[in-house]
């Protein structure tokens, strides 16, 4: 069944199916093409009549082809958002959950099937998902053109929500931003974006957006400025207006070449080398948490086996021309220990030997500790010390399918539970269905009240430096003190410079 909604730009035709109202492909800003490339998002044009909103808008240009089914065409004209709401709520005032997708700021789209909002919204919330400019299109850092265009896209999307979401049953005074991976880093960035103040009221940071990496160089203003210079050299163009006239495919290719996704010789890939990233420029994004309002609570967490998404188990190794044992070698393990643990590399290798881990298992555990667990725990300690309200979780549930493949509770494992997109169905069981209910309940209660809770009514504890309690989301949710691994401790000891001097993103 069709349904009509009215926005400040004109009317939209969406659909109602199975008690969910859906509007797709809504322009929240003008297409950032031609003279609008590398400019702040401009207001979307008004339209006459009723605009069709039953199909996803264009996905942003993907810096690298991952083979994902985007269910949409790629284009620089990509500033579209989507809305899912419980049907018959036009006169309601429901919490709004504003999803920022992941993909390393290089790939992804709100149109991907894994994070559509038709199941999550049934918990009594309005779900909004947004596209934004990726790669150098969104995160070029040029002395004349500026920086942080993707971040400005998120602010424009939130501004659209403030002005229009009441017409879809949402409450513009109760907006939660949430994102995973790059989306988690985006959420962190918005906490330090002056233009975003007042546009959201709660924030969820999933599997990214923590402290700077312990040893590996972190994303920074200097890195993206230098990469922009190298990209200009590749293109043979430095002038701002000439860059705007450069064909999009040439920009994409040069953006990929400078993205930092190829590991150094002798190492394996980690997402700790990303270059195109929101960075503190002193205007659009300030240093650290200086813009974080005191009354905005945060839910922050990670999964137990993050790195297994990036360092594939031997059973799933994606390079048939090589054998896993040719890649996950003792030599590679030593190189990764040196890269990620610095002066504590010998102790890391000693720990791996004592536990009897294979080189693959040890590599995955080191990357997980260095890139996710240690920075997340350090972030929790610092945020709690700032007297901010923060809740924390560790997602540890391993589905039957993930156990078989060896992916375990990998990076993004919680997404299928949060959005109810558990596919293929045979990889999950009845316990997973209950865990999905638990995750959805906790996230939506946080959006509703600022305090996550379990289905059985247990309120999550606030993370405090003394107790350090986390919600461990497994077969059931348990609350207990954080359990930093031996590796996380070694990584923490290897931090350089001292954490108080870090140039945090």
Enzyme catalytic residues: 181, 306, 411
Residue pair 334/414 in contact by the 8 Å Cβ criterion: no
Q: How many Cβ atoms from other residues are within 10 Å of residue 428's Cβ?
A: 19
Helix axes 486-493, 330-341, angle to 10 degrees: 50
- In sequence order, the β-bridge partners of residue 17 are 20
Largest CA distance in the chain: 70
Residues with Cβ within 8 Å of 271's Cβ and at least 6 positions away in sequence, in order, are 104, 181, 310, 371
First to last CA, the chain: 45
- CA–CA separation, 462 and 113 (whole Å): 33
Rounded to whole angstroms, what are the CA distances from 443 to 70, 125, 177, 352? 25, 10, 11, 36
3-state secondary structure 277-288: CCCCCCCCCCCC
- CA–CA separation, 459 and 411 (whole Å): 26
Rounded CA Rg of the chain: 22
Position of tokens 């959005």? 419
Return the closest-CA partner of residue 397 out of 356, 353, 354, 434. 434
Residue pair 192/287 in contact by the 8 Å Cβ criterion: yes
Task: State the alpha helices, DSSP H only, in 356-449.
Answer: 359-368, 374-385, 400-405, 415-419, 430-449
How many helices (H) and strands (E) would you count in the chain? 15, 13
- CA–CA separation, 262 and 401 (whole Å): 29
Instruction: List the Cα angle 361/365/371 in 5-degree steps.
Output: 145
Position of tokens 């996550």? 452
- CA–CA separation, 366 and 349 (whole Å): 10
Q: How many Cβ atoms from other residues are within 10 Å of residue 273's Cβ?
A: 20
- CA–CA separation, 358 and 486 (whole Å): 17
- CA–CA separation, 368 and 481 (whole Å): 19
């Amino acid at each position: 069944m069709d349904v009509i909604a009215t926005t400040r730009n004109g009317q939209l035709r969406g659909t109602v199916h199975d008690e969910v109202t859906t509007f797709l492909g809504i322009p929240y800003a003008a297409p950032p093409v031609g003279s609008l490339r590398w400019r702040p998002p401009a207001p979307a044009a008004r339209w006459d009549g009723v605009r069709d909103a039953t199909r996803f808008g264009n996905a942003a240009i993907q810096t690298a082809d991952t083979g994902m089914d985007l269910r949409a065409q790629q284009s620089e004209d990509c500033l579209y958002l989507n809305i899912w709401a419980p049907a018959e709520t036009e006169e309601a005032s429901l919490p709004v959950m504003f999803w920022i997708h992941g993909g390393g700021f290089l790939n992804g789209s709100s149109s991907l099937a894994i994070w559509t909002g038709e199941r999550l919204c049934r918990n009594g919330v309005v779900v909004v998902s947004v596209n934004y400019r990726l790669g150098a299109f969104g995160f070029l850092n040029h002395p004349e053109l500026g920086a942080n265009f993707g971040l400005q896209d998120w602010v424009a999307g939130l501004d659209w929500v403030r002005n229009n979401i009441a017409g879809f049953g949402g409450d513009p005074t109760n907006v939660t931003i949430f994102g995973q991976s790059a989306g988690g880093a985006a959420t962190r960035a918005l906490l330090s974006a002056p233009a975003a103040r007042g546009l959201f009221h709660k924030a969820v940071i999933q599997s990214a957006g923590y402290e700077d990496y312990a040893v590996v160089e972190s994303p920074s203003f200097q890195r993206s400025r230098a990469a922009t210079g190298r990209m200009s050299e590749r293109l043979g163009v430095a002038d701002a207006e000439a860059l705007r006239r450069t064909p999009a495919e040439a920009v994409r290719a040069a953006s990929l070449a400078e993205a930092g996704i190829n590991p150094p010789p002798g190492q394996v890939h980690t997402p700790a080398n990303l270059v195109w990233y929101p960075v503190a420029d002193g205007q659009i994004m300030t240093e650290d948490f200086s813009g974080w309002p005191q009354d905005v609570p945060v839910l922050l967490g990670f999964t137990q086996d993050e790195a297994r998404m990036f360092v594939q188990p031997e059973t799933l190794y994606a390079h048939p021309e090589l054998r896993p044992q040719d890649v996950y070698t003792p030599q590679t393990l030593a190189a990764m220990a040196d890269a990620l643990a610095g002066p504590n590399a010998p102790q890391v290798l000693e720990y791996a030997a004592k536990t009897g881990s294979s080189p693959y298992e040890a590599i995955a555990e080191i990357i997980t500790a260095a890139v996710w667990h240690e920075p997340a725990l350090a972030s929790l300690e610092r945020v709690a010390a700032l007297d901010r309200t923060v809740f924390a979780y560790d997602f540890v549930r391993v589905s039957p399918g993930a156990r078989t493949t060896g992916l375990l509770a990998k990076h993004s494992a919680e997404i299928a539970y949060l959005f109810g997109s558990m596919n293929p169905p045979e990889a999950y069981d009845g316990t997973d269905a209950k865990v999905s209910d638990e995750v959805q309940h906790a996230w939506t209660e946080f959006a509703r009240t600022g305090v996550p809770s379990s289905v059985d009514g247990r309120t999550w504890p606030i993370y405090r430096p003394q107790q350090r309690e986390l919600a461990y989301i497994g077969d059931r949710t348990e609350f207990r003190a954080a359990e930093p691994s031996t590796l996380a401790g070694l990584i923490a000891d290897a931090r350089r410079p001292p954490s108080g001097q870090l140039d945090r993103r």
